[in-house]
Each structure stands twice: as structure tokens, then as C-alpha cells.
Structure 1
Amino acid sequence: MNILVQGAGALGAYFGGRLLEAGLSVSFFVREKRAAQLIQEGLRINSPEGNVEIKNVTVYTSPEKVKNIDLVILAVKGYHLDQTIPQVQTIVQQTGAFVLPLLNGVEHLGRLQQAIGKEKVLGGFASIIATLNEKGHVNHTSASSAVKFGVLHNEQTEICEQLEEIHSLVKTNFLREENILKHMWKKYIFITALSGITSAMQLPAGYIASTKASFNVAKNVVLEMSTLAKKEGIELTEQEVEIMADRLKGFQKEATSSMHQDMRKGLPLEVEHLQGGALRLAAKHDVTVPVIETLYGILKPYENGKPD
């Protein structure tokens, strides 16, 4: 299987690097600046799962030059989706590849399905805490990492079976889930709460449980998001919702969300993709989500980076 990783931020570089480390055929589609950095520095990962350094990484910066690809792993931020979709369209038209998006949220599924066809878009997401340093090397700080994926269309069975076989080869987890859409929603619920509270507090995740008031804000986001999930046909038990909320208490003091990391660096935030997406779903179903709406209002000025 020939894999193209589109986007080489911390997430794309990490999982693409693990696939390369295992001897798989992997190339990257990136912007010019990141391409130059990868060519000069190579791909380096510092991780509890094992360090790795890979030279001579194959990179593309023009979609027209991409050939002979079976799977595109889409590892871009939500705010890059608009400019990414035409590139994905070109690559899929040229290669017939399937696309495994690892974006947070759920709105991107419909947009990608409309652009390239329902049969081409797998369900999936990633779990990892990582960032890039000034040289573009990946610093992976969580104890483990995973890509979870699954079938959203009956034509995707074979490609998912091939992805399952990768799991035993790589120093990370590639895990197939039968009800991938429910798992995506559980990730969306949790990350909307985690990113919202850490970024609004401008403090690491360890502080969520430091006061009852802060924890209640995060828990109420979980409850509001769970209501939206049910409106979208995703059935969650009370126990599943409670477990998600309790997970917010379990972070080490300095652990934090990727949104909070981006805020500290003065980078753009996925507030429109996460909290904004939730508000659009709430409007669709005519329900109110006052805590999410409040966090959205607090974070919106930081959407394009640190305000001047």
C-alpha cells in the first residue's frame, strides 16, 4: 500500500514517521516551507514509544505531481480544510485513493464526501499529545498514541483490512473500530471540553480539577455535546458520558490540549472547527448550548493567532 500523509504537523509527522520506520511506502504532501524543512532536517521523533530519525523523506508540494497512491491520511488542522479540499480532489481524481481524515470534529466528513464521494471517505481520528519544536521535530509527550479508523461505506472494507495489518508492524496503534462514527463523536465531545476549558483558563489540563467551578464548566460542555450527539443519532449511555467527564480530572499537572499549546505559541486555533461546529449543530437541532457558546465567545478573538 502506498500512503500519502497530507500535512506534516506534529500529528502527520508522527504517524507518517512511524509508518516509514516500519518500512512502509509513505510520502508527504506539505506546503513549501515545511517541505524545505523536511528536506533539510529529515523527520525526527522524540517519543516514549521510541525515538526515530529518518532522512530522505519524499515530499510533494503540488497535487498534480502525486501519483500511485492508495490512501491519503489527511492530517491538517480544521482551519486548513477549505484550501485542502481542492488538493484532495485532484489527488483522488488522479489516483483513485481513499482518504482517512484525522481531523477533530465531524463536519469535515460531509464536506469531504461531497467533494470526492461517500465511498472514498473513511471514518477516523487520532489520539496523541505532541508538538513540533523550532526545527520541525516531533516532541511526543503522552505515554501512547493511536489512529482509530473504520468503514463508513461498504466499498471501504478492503482498505480497512489492509490498515489493520499495519498495526502489528508499527510502534504505535492502528486500530479498527466497528462503530467508528460513535468513537469519533466521543473524541469530539471530549476534545471540545478539554480544548475549551484549558484555552479559556490559559492553564494546563491539571488545573481542570483544581476547583469545582472549573471542572463543572468542562463537565457541562461534555453534557451539552452529548445532547448534540444524540440529536445526530449517536446513542451514548449515562455511564459513557460520566466516564468522559471524569477523564477530565485525570491529567498530569502540565499536560494540556493542542488548542492551548497553539494559544501559548500565538498560533491559530481550531475554535471554529470545534466549538463553532457545535454551535452550528445546536442551531440545526434548535437546542441551546450556553457553556459552549460562552467558551466560543471567549476564544473567537484568538482564532487567527494572538490578537494584535
Structure 2
Amino acid sequence: MRKVGATMNILVQGAGALGAYFGGRLLEAGLNVSFFVRERRAAQLAKEGLKIYSPEGNFEERDVTVYTEAEQVKNIDLVILAVKGYHLDQAIPQVQKIVEQTGAFVLPLLNGIEHLETLQQAIGKEKVLGGFASIIATLNEQGYVEHTSGSSAVKFGALHNEQTEICAQLEAVHNDVKTNILREENILKHMWKKYIFITSFSGITSAMQLPAGFIASTEASFAVARKVILEMSMLANKEGIILTEQEVEVMATRLKGFHKEATSSMHQDMRKGLPLEVEHLHGGALRLAAKHAVTLPVIETLYGILKPYENGKPSGL
């Protein structure tokens, strides 16, 4: 296989469904990819390897380079940060150490928007790219990725003029991978559109505790989800991100376009009794709303409903 991007060394921090999928696709294409994970996940990858089941093609790699200590990481050009929002605070010292040792740029694939400022304060504005991922996937009990949406994508872009070269290197990979690696000029607007949509989609599916088909078939539920999109779009406007009425309606209509059994990662986590990103998504929106002295009544309601599940299944249930 031709070694695309052979001069670019990529570290994927976090090997949940998202990190393992996109890291696996880059590895499959011949890039130099390693993973930074916790001890338990490292042991699982050592035993089981990295395996992807996907409509975009299955993939398996038994020999995966894994690190568990930041001090072990050397010679990295790009860190793809693929942790959940609630793990960001504990990941920051590790990211700082890795960037200090290697000079790497960081591409965070977290949902939401607040993490950009957090990372910029930790490692410098020039080091933090903008980006996000679009995929519906989960890990099974063996730690294999089960990708259930028909497609997947990473969108990224420069937030600082020192990021031009690393963005060009990553963009060059697109044609060689079995996923979409897409560079966007106005990455902040694209991040906001993802934030708007995921806040609605994850909020309504988790609050209903039902998959996407019930958004389309229950008009009252769709109305709630649509109002979240309207509230978030207003918030984006306050942050300087201007969306047209058509862009907003496209997002609302998209809520009805999912396969009836498809659902959000937040709802999948709720089903498993795992922690939820409610503070990172809905809580983050409420903090931004407070900054601009506006109210988000529907988001506030969903936040109140989901907050007890933030750390997993509430005790006593």
C-alpha cells in the first residue's frame, strides 16, 4: 500500500467509537497512527486489536501502537482529541505535556464549542484547530466499533494562520481514506451547525428515551426538537455566527430523515447506563445564554430532565 501522508505522525487521544473509527480509517490508509488511551482500553486493544464493522467497509488491525503515559509520546505532528466532553478536564494536562514534548497541533473532535477556549488557554491559540466528527457508532463488549450510519466525516479548518501547513497535509489524505476528511474555510460556522443539531437530536432522543423514528412520527416531540434548533440558532447569532432561515429549516427537517431505529450517542450512552455529555452540550448552551443575558426555555427544560443521568444511571434505579 502506498504510504499517504507518511511524513505526518498522528496520535489519536481516546479510542472510543469515534477515535477508534477515524484512527482506524487513517491507519488503514497507511498513515503513521498511534493511540493514547487508558490502561484498560490499552489492554483491550492489545488482546482484541482494533476492529471496525461499517457500511464503509470493515477493517481489522491486530498490531496497534498504544501509549498510556504522556511521557512516552514522541515525534507527533497532530493530536486528534477524541475524548468525551466530560473527560476534557482530565485530558488537558496530558495534551499540554504532549504538545510541550512534540510541538504538535491539536484537532479536537468534541461536541459543543466551549472546549476551544479551554484548549486555547491551555496550549495556545496557534495550536488548536477547529473541527468535529459526524458518525453514529458505538463500541461493543469486545471494544470493536459498530458503525451504523451510512457515512462518516471529519470536518476541520484553521483557526490561526500558523495552521495552514498542517491543514494542507490533512486535507491531502481525503482521497485515500474510507471516510470523509474535509477541510472547511469557515470551520466555526460548521462547528456551530453541528452543535445546534446535536443539542437538539441528543436532547430529544435521550429525554424521550426513544430512537429517531419517534421524532418523525410524534409531532409534539418534533416541535420540541425544532424549538431547540431555533434557540441554538439564536445563540449562535449572539456569538457572531449568522445562519439563514433556510439553513435553520434544513437542520430541523433533517431530524425527520433518520432511520427509525437510529439514535444519538447520548441516548446510546443512557441505554448503557454511561455518563452523558449533557453538561458539555446543554449546560454549555445555558452558560453562553447567561453571558448574553438571553433565555433558552426548551434547552433549560431538557437540561433539567437529563441532568440526573449525567454520571450514569442514577443510584436507586
Match of 1:85 in 2: 92
Match of 1:148 in 2: 155
Letter of the 1:269 counterpart: L
Match of 2:42 in 1: 35
* Structure 2: tracts of 5 or more residues without a match: 1-7
Task: Report how far residue 252 of structure 1 moved.
Answer: 1.0
Task: Report how far residue 206 of structure 1 moved.
Answer: 1.1
Match of 1:47 in 2: 54
Secondary structure, aligned partner of 2:279? coil
1:85-124 alignment to 2 at 5 Å?
85-124=92-131
Letter of the 2:217 counterpart: S
For residue 277 of structure 2, the aligned residue among 246, 270, 284 is 270
Secondary structure, aligned partner of 1:126? strand
Counterparts of 1:28 and 1:211 in 2: how far apart (Å)? Answer: 42
Letter of the 2:291 counterpart: K
Match of 1:205 in 2: 212
1:97-246 alignment to 2 at 5 Å?
97-246=104-253
Letter of the 2:224 counterpart: V
Task: Report how far residue 209 of structure 1 moved.
Answer: 1.6
Counterparts of 2:216 and 2:150 in 1: how far apart (Å)? Answer: 21
Secondary structure, aligned partner of 1:188? helix
Letter of the 1:194 counterpart: F
Task: Report how far residue 103 of structure 1 moved.
Answer: 0.2
Counterparts of 1:169 and 1:250 in 2: how far apart (Å)? Answer: 29
Asked if 1:6 is matched to 2:13, the reply is yes
Match of 1:74 in 2: 81
Query: What whole-Å deviation, never above 9, does each CA across 1:70-101 have from its counterpart, x for those lacking one?
Result: 00000000000000000000000000000000
Secondary structure, aligned partner of 1:235? coil
Letter of the 1:180 counterpart: I
Letter of the 1:22 counterpart: A
Counting matched residue pairs gives 308
Match of 1:251 in 2: 258
Secondary structure, aligned partner of 1:274? helix
Counterparts of 2:293 and 2:303 in 1: how far apart (Å)? Answer: 18
Match of 2:4 in 1: none
Letter of the 1:161 counterpart: A
Counterparts of 1:150 and 1:240 in 2: how far apart (Å)? Answer: 20
Secondary structure, aligned partner of 1:251? coil
Counterparts of 1:182 and 1:151 in 2: how far apart (Å)? Answer: 12
- Which ranges of 4 or more aligned residues in structure 1 deviate by more than 4 Å? none
Counterparts of 1:249 and 1:54 in 2: how far apart (Å)? Answer: 36
Task: Report how far residue 211 of structure 1 moved.
Answer: 1.6
Select between 292-301 and 206-215 the one with higher mean Cα deviation: 206-215
Match of 1:293 in 2: 300
Query: What whole-Å deviation, never above 9, does each CA across 1:246-278 have from its counterpart, x for those lacking one?
Result: 110111110000000000000000000000000
Query: What whole-Å deviation, never above 9, does each CA across 1:84-130 have from its counterpart, x for those lacking one?
Result: 00000000000000000000000000000000000000000000000
Query: What whole-Å deviation, never above 9, does each CA across 1:144-165 have from its counterpart, x for those lacking one?
Result: 1000000100000000000011
Secondary structure, aligned partner of 1:67? coil
